[in-house]
Structure formats: C-alpha cells, structure tokens
Amino acid sequence: MNSNRRILLKQRPQGMPTPDDFAIVEAPVPALGADEVLVRNRFLSLDPYMRGQMDGGKSYIQAIEIGDVMNGHTVGEVVESKNAAFAPGDLVWGPGHWQEYAVLKSPPLRKITGSHSPSAWLGPMGLPGWTAYVGLFDLGAPKPGETIVVSSATGAVGALVGQLAKRYGLRTVGIAGGEAKCRYAVDELGYDVCVDYKSSDFPAALAAACPTGVDIDFENVGGAILDAVWPLLNSHARVIICGLMAQYNLKTKYPGPELTHLLKSRLTIRGFIISDYAGRFPEAIAQMSARLASGEIKIREDITDGIENAPSAFIGMLQGRNFGKTIVRIG
Amino acid sequence: MNSNRRILLKQRPQGMPTPDDFAIVEAPVPALGADEVLVRNRFLSLDPYMRGQMDGGKSYIQAIEIGDVMNGHTVGEVVESKNAAFAPGDLVWGPGHWQEYAVLKSPPLRKITGSHSPSAWLGPMGLPGWTAYVGLFDLGAPKPGETIVVSSATGAVGALVGQLAKRYGLRTVGIAGGEAKCRYAVDELGYDVCVDYKSSDFPAALAAACPTGVDIDFENVGGAILDAVWPLLNSHARVIICGLMAQYNLKTKYPGPELTHLLKSRLTIRGFIISDYAGRFPEAIAQMSARLASGEIKIREDITDGIENAPSAFIGMLQGRNFGKTIVRIG
C-alpha cells in the first residue's frame, strides 16, 4: 500500500492564505475498522467556504483545527471495504478531504451511479448543485419575471443559479471578473446580461443592467459587489448571503450595508449554509440530475493535477483566477 | 364651526428635526362629500416611523410631501356624518393626522367600541399593538426558552413586545435609556433584565445580561445599540428591524453590521413595516384586546396637551425624552 499524502492546516491565515499556511505530510494509510471503506480519492472539490473554516471560531461548527487535514468533498474509488454495501472498484462520493486516501463510513459515504461524469458529483450533483437549488428556490422564493443578480456568475454555484433562474423565467444579471467570463456567462450559461466588476464604471454599469431594479441578490462575493447591488434592491427584495469571497481575506471588518434602505424597502438578508438543509438534498440532486442529463445545465471545470497543488489552486480560486468549478485531480 | 389648526411639513429635516421644519396653519374645516365623516381629533399618536416619512424618497410609499399635513393616527369623535354607519358622538379611530379636524371615509375610519380607554387605540389596540404582535410572532418565530433583546424597551412598541414575549416563555432583555426606564421595564413590564444604553460599559453589560446569547433582536433603535447586540446573536438568530431611531437623524450613513457573522451563524435580518400585514390586523388586535382586558398588558402614556405642541413632543420623542407611548391630547 502506498503512503497517504495529505494537506494539513498548518496555521490560520492572516488575510489571503499563502502556501505556508498549509503542510503536506505523508502518513500511513490507516487500517480499516468495522464497516469502514478505504477510498482512493480521484477528484477533490475546492470551494470558497473552506476559507471560512480555516479561521476557526466558536460560532462556525465546521471549523478546521490547526494540524487537521483540510476538509473537502471528493469523488473516489473503493480500494478495500469492510462494508457489504461497497466493493472495490465502486465509485463513491463523500468527505474524503485533501488527501490521497480516505477511510470513511456510510453515511456520509455514498455510492455514485448513473451516467454523469464522476467530477459532476463535485458540481451540479454535489454541494454546489444542492446549494444553488435550495438557495434559489427555498431562500430566494423567486417569481417569474423578477430580476436576480448573481455574483461570481460563472463560479461553481453561481453558474448553476444563473441557469436555474433563467429557466424559471427570471431576468438574470451576472457579475463576473473580466470580459472572457462575462462573454461565457451570456453565450454559454444564458444570462440576460453580465457585468464586469473590474470595469471602472461597475456600479453604473450594474444599475444600467437592472432597469427595473433587483428582486433577488444571490450573493457569493460581498464587499464592493454587494455595495453596488444594495441601492438597486426593490421593495421586498431578498439578499441570500451564500458566500462573501471578497471579505474572507480582509484583515479588518468590511462594513455592512446601511440598514435604512432595508427598513424602508422591507428587505431580507439571510446567511445560508447548505448543511442546514439535509432534508432538501434528495430533491435538489434529483432535479439537478435531470437537468444535467437533458442538457439544460452546462458545466465548466477548472482542473489542477496533483494533491500537492491543491493549496495553490485554492489560493488562485480565492483570487478569482479560476474559470469554472475548481477541482483537483488526484493520482 | 371653528377653524382647523393643522401642522404641515414645511421643509425636510437635516438630521434631527427642529421646530422650523413644521408650520402651523389655520384652515377652514372642509365641507363633507358623500359618505364622508367629520372627526374632531382627541388624541394623536406620535411615532418614530414618521421621521422616515419626512425624508421622502421614492422607495418609501408613505412619504409626506412638503406642504402636506403631517400624517398620523388619531382617536376622535364624530361631529358630523354623511355616512349612515357613523353618528355624531361616535368614538372613531383612523388616519386623522396632525390637526384638530379630519374628514375621513370608512375604511380607513373605524368605530371604537368596548371598554378600553380611548387612547389605548393609539397603543396596544392600534399600530403599536399590531406591530408588536406581528413583528414578534410572525417575523420573530419565537420559541419558548429563547432570549429576545428589545431596544427602546419601554417605548410604544417595545413595551408591548417585551410583555408578549415574556408571557410566551422567552427570556426578555430590555435596552432603555436611564435608570428610571430600566427599573420600570423590570418592575412593571416584567423584563427579566434591562440594560441602560447610556451606561459607560453598555456592550459588556449587555453581554453579561445575555449569558446564552441572543435568538431574536427586536430592533427599534439601530446604530450603536445594534452594534452591541450583533456579536451576541446565536446561530439562526432573527433580527427584526422595526425601527432605526438612532439612524434617522444622521447626516451620514451609519455602516451596517459586518456580514461574516451573518453568514457563519445563518442570521436573518428583515426590515418590517406593519402596513404590509393588513390581513393580520384582526387577529393581532383581538389578541391585544384580550390581554389588555385581563391585565396581562400594561401601558404607560406620555401625554402632551395641544396640537401646537406636537412638533416639540415629536422632537422630544426622537431624542428619547418620552417615557411611554407619546400622545398629543387635542382640544
């Protein structure tokens, strides 16, 4: 048996993470206990929420402790099993973390079946799909004809939200960084319009893209992006805070939006973490699966090879250098 | 017939209103049209939300235009009627505004019956009672055993929220200005504890008063009060923005609360204006009436005599100088 290369949290980042915040170690592959399954990870999902976990803090239930393996979901292959439901060669999905081998039980380990590509289980068939579906339909309470703004419009979650919302009859306004992403958002993902947040006149361009205001803000970024959306929000608008990518790496607190508008326009802002919605997983994934199979949902992946490159791929994603769902291919 | 003294909005306030922002005029009492009722106002309710209306702005549907009479609810007596449902001498409730006489139709005019004191219709039986009931139960979604913080704890709405919440089984933490109000909050209104926001160690005192954190913030004040509540909010806490008294008179925008805590703790902040909940009025007022009759709900009124003194009473209320529901007794 090979040894197991693992990426640990070495120290808590100060602002934007650096490679020094991570350690790569080689550890023996643990022996299996009763009902356990040994998984060789093939694909690791990198997601912005992991930045929050690196900070720790008592209010965040999923914080990663210093010295622990970095958490994440993987798709892998069973290489050894003491659980009758899993056999070597089975393709599986679960919290395999930033490492080559994981020892898991079921649940949370699930067998993957069907015709989707294995890495789709880290996108529309996994946490991003679950997040997009529940965030849009349960928290957003969309009505056809409304306008939704989606920041990080081509990212793992945003690209799915935009496609779901468009098909549901909303006017969809994406926000992304750079002309290539904006063109992809409109041409491939079907956004009605996409605004480049790197342009010098971004707030004015966003306002022009939303002539009847904004009813739902699906917020993955926060910071100056949310500041530009805020004055455009219509009465009874919903702001779903799914991520605050622009704020995770700040050393000082970014001030929140001014609340007089919230009161006068009866806005709602909600923080949203998908793990609170376990009961909605089956419907969400069934819906995403059907739409993926029918071609209604398109995906784009940004793949980096080698577990040792996970930290740099993660940092690149936090800097907006990814284009599509960020995935590490292992081994 | 006497002439009708009326208080108009003369100019939009810059920060805290001053007497110069209002004009008092004498106008003839208008003749009645079909179905109209002439009401002699007896009690006028003064409420913080009126400060927002004075600012105008397109997103605020109830803005008061310059030169218009200041809006407000009154209890009065019918002196003349062209509507068969109202007769001279009837006690009525409606949007009689800041003036001695009002010409109204039904609806919105309603006849008052029952044994409550007339001015109670400007408190627990009127907008404050409706606001407290719907805000607490519909938006707050309280669960017995949770902790609620109520700012402006002895004010028109806050005093009712605190009493309703205590009876529902919540731990109730009031915030008020000065020792007398805090003592009244605990001794008369039944708060478990009340914290004086004027004390030098206010944030620490509030934290000490909430050893298990805060599940609901019924926010009437905003500003530094909300800043002190914010870090105490538990996972899934609800912040109901009913008023932002501390922010209405600022000339610059007060920064909102930092949203990383909102995301990590899955908080919800909602702006709330009671006129959106017309369908909930009957239940709310029936419930408040029963509790007022049984003595479960106590009220305290801060009464100023004379319509000409409405502006100074209003300014005093915005400065926190009232103690109880602010009411002007007319004529």
Convert the pLDDT of each residue in A157-196 to its tens digit: 999 999 999 999 999 999 999 999 999 999 999 999 999 9
Instruction: Flag whether pLDDT at B246 surpasses 80.
Output: yes
Q: Are residues A136 and A211 in the same domain?
A: yes
Q: What is the pLDDT of residues B206-224, one digit of tens each?
A: 999 999 999 999 999 999 9
**pLDDT at position A330:** 97
Q: Go through A225-255 and write b for each residue having 16 or more CB atoms within 10 A of its CB, e for each that does not.
A: bbbbbbbbbbbebbbbbbbbbbbbeeeeebe
**A33 φ, ψ to 5°?**
-95, -175
B70 and B140 housed in the same domain? no
Co-location of B110 and B132 in the same domain: no
Report if residue A286 sits inside a domain: no
Residues of B in contact with A235 (CB under 8 A): 59, 61
Banded pLDDT at B1 (limits 50, 70, 90): low
Query: Considering chain B, what is the average pLDDT of its residues?
Result: 95
Residue range B273-291, pLDDT digits in tens: 999 999 999 999 999 999 9
For A136, list phi and psi in degrees, rounded to 5: -70, -55
Q: Quickly state the pLDDT bin for A1 (edges 50, 70, 90).
A: low
Decide if A258 and B262 are in contact by the 8 Å CB cutoff.
no
Q: Are residues B237 and B319 in the same domain?
A: no
DSSP A258: P
Query: CATH number for the domain including B213?
Result: 3.40.50.720
Whether the pLDDT of residue A12 is over 60: the answer is: yes
Kindly determine whether residue B271 and residue A257, on different chains, have CB atoms separated by under 8 Å.
no
CA distances to A302, B174, B211, B228, B233 from B205, in Å: 50, 12, 11, 10, 15
- Choosing among A59, A215, A230, A250, which should be mutated to test the B contact, i.e. which has the most B CBs within 10 A? A59
Kindly report the average pLDDT of chain A as a whole number: 95
Q: Does A253 touch chain B (CB under 8 A)?
A: yes
- Do B98 and B81 lie in one domain? The reply is yes
In chain A, alpha helices (H): 49-54, 127-134, 158-168, 179-187, 202-209, 223-229, 259-264, 281-294, 310-318
A256–B254: do the CB atoms touch at under 8 Å? Answer: no
Q: Which domain holds residue A139?
A: 127-275
Residues facing B268 on adjacent strands: A270, B238
Q: CA-CA distance, B109 to B121, in Å (whole number)?
A: 12
- Quick one: average pLDDT of B32-49? 95
One domain, residues B181 and B253: yes
Which among A61, A222, A276 has CB closest to B259? A222
Higher pLDDT, A218 or A1: A218
Q: What is the DSSP string of A41-70?
A: EEEEE--THHHHHHT--TT-TTPPPTTSBP
- Gap between the Cα atoms of A238 and A215, Å rounded: 6
Average pLDDT over residues A60-65: 76
Taking contacts as CB-CB distances below 8 angstroms, the residues of chain A near B262 are 241, 256, 269-271
**Could you say which DSSP state residue A153 is in?**
T
Does residue B280 form part of some domain? no
Say if residue B308 is in the same domain as residue B216.
no
Residues A22 and A114 in one domain: yes
Is B202 a domain residue?
yes
State residue B184 phi and psi, 5-degree precision.
-60, -40
A266 to chain B, any CB pair closer than 8 A? The answer is yes
Residues B255 and B140 in one domain: yes
What whole-number distance in Å separates Cα of residue B28 and Cα of residue B82? Answer: 18
Q: Do B258 and A253 touch (CB under 8 A)?
A: yes
CB-CB neighbors (< 8 A) of A261 in chain B: 59
Q: Which residue of B has its CA nearest to A223?
A: B259
CATH code: domain of residue B11: 3.90.180.10
Instruction: Give the Cα separation of B259 and A241 in Å (integer).
Output: 8
- Among chain B residues, the shortest Cα distance to A59 is held by B265
Q: Are A272 and B260 an interchain contact pair (Cβ–Cβ within 8 Å)?
A: no
CB contact under 8 A, A264 and B235: no
Average pLDDT over residues B5-31: 96
B38 exposed, middle or buried (CB, 10 Å; 0-12, 13-18, 19+)?
A: buried
pLDDT at B252: 87
| DSSP bridge pairs for B305 | B329
Nearest CB to A276 within list B52, B259, B266: B266
Question: Which ranges constitute the DSSP H helices of A55-157?
Answer: 127-134
Q: What is the CA radius of gyration of chain B?
A: 20
Using an 8 Å CB-CB cutoff, list chain A residues near B259: 222, 226, 241, 244, 247, 254, 256, 269, 271
B42 contacts B75 by C-beta, under 8 angstroms: yes
Residue contact A259–B254, C-beta within 8 A? yes
Residue B225 belongs to a domain: yes
For the stretch A109-145, pLDDT in tens is: 999 988 899 999 999 999 999 999 999 999 999 999 9
Same domain, B157 and B244: yes
DSSP string, B186-208: HHTT--SEEEETTSTTHHHHHHH
Q: Which residues contact B113 (CB under 8 A, 6 or more apart)?
A: none
Question: A62: pLDDT confidence band, cut at 50, 70 and 90?
Answer: confident
Chain A residues lying within 8 Å of B266, measured CB to CB? 270-273, 276
Q: A134 and A116 in one domain?
A: no
Name the percent of chain A lying above pLDDT 90.
89
The answer, yes or no, to whether residue A58 has pLDDT greater than 80, is no
Residue A286: pLDDT over 80: yes
The answer to whether residues A247 and B240 touch, using CB atoms and an 8 Å cutoff, is no
Q: In this prediction, what percent of chain B has a pLDDT beyond 90?
A: 89
Locate A124 and state its tokens. 């529309």
Q: Which residues of A touch B131 (CB under 8 A)?
A: none
Distance from CA of A53 to the nearest CA of B (A): 9
How far A214 CA sits from the closest chain B CA (Å)? Answer: 13
CB pair distance less than 8 Å for A271 and B272: no
- What residue in A sits closest to B223 (Cα-Cα)? A259
pLDDT, average across residues B113-129: 93
At residue B224, the pLDDT reads 96
In this structure, the answer to whether residues A91 and A155 fall within a common structural domain is no
Asked if residue A46 belongs to a domain, the reply is yes
Phi first, then psi, for residue A26 (nearest 5°) are: -110, 130
A-interface mutation test, from B259, B265, B266, most A Cβ less than 10 A away: B259
Burial class (CB in 10 A: 0-12, 13-18, 19+), B287: middle
* Residue range B82-99, pLDDT digits in tens: 999 999 999 999 999 999
Which chain A residue's Cα is nearest to B259? A256
Q: How confident is the model at residue B40 (pLDDT cuts 50, 70, 90)?
A: very high
Answer yes or no: do A271 and B271 touch at CB < 8 A: no
Residue B58: band (very low, low, confident or very high) from pLDDT cuts 50, 70, 90? low
Chain A residues 121-180 within an 8 A CB cutoff of chain B: none
Q: Give the number of beta-carbon pairs within 8 Å between A and B.
A: 114
Percent of chain A that is helix, strand, coil (3-state, to 5): 30, 25, 45
For residue B249, what are its two tokens?
């008179």
Q: Which of A60, A61, A267 sits opposite B271 (nearest CB)?
A: A267
Residue B294 in this model has a pLDDT that exceeds 80: yes
Specify if B207 maps to a domain: yes
- Assigned domain for A294 exists: no
Is B269 within 8 Å of A262 when comparing Cβ atoms?
yes
Query: Residue B250: how many CB atoms within 10 A of its CB?
Result: 15
The 3-state DSSP class for residue B250 equals coil
Cα(B84)–Cα(B251) distance, rounded to whole angstroms?
49
CA distances from B267 to A269, A306, B4, B236 (A): 8, 38, 49, 5
Residue B120 pLDDT grade (very low, low, confident, very high; cuts 50, 70, 90)? very high
Of A275, A292, A315, which residue is a domain's last? A275
In total, how many domains does chain A have?
A: 2
Measured in degrees and rounded to the nearest 5, phi and psi for residue A270 equal -130, 135
Residues 28-67 of A with CB under 8 A from B: 52, 57, 59-61
Residue A293: CB atoms within 10 Å: 12
pLDDT above 90 for B56: no
3-state secondary structure of B217: strand
Q: Is B18 on the interface with A (CB under 8 A)?
A: no
Residue B61's pLDDT is 55
Residue A60 pLDDT greater than 70, yes or no: no
**Does A284 reside within a domain?**
no
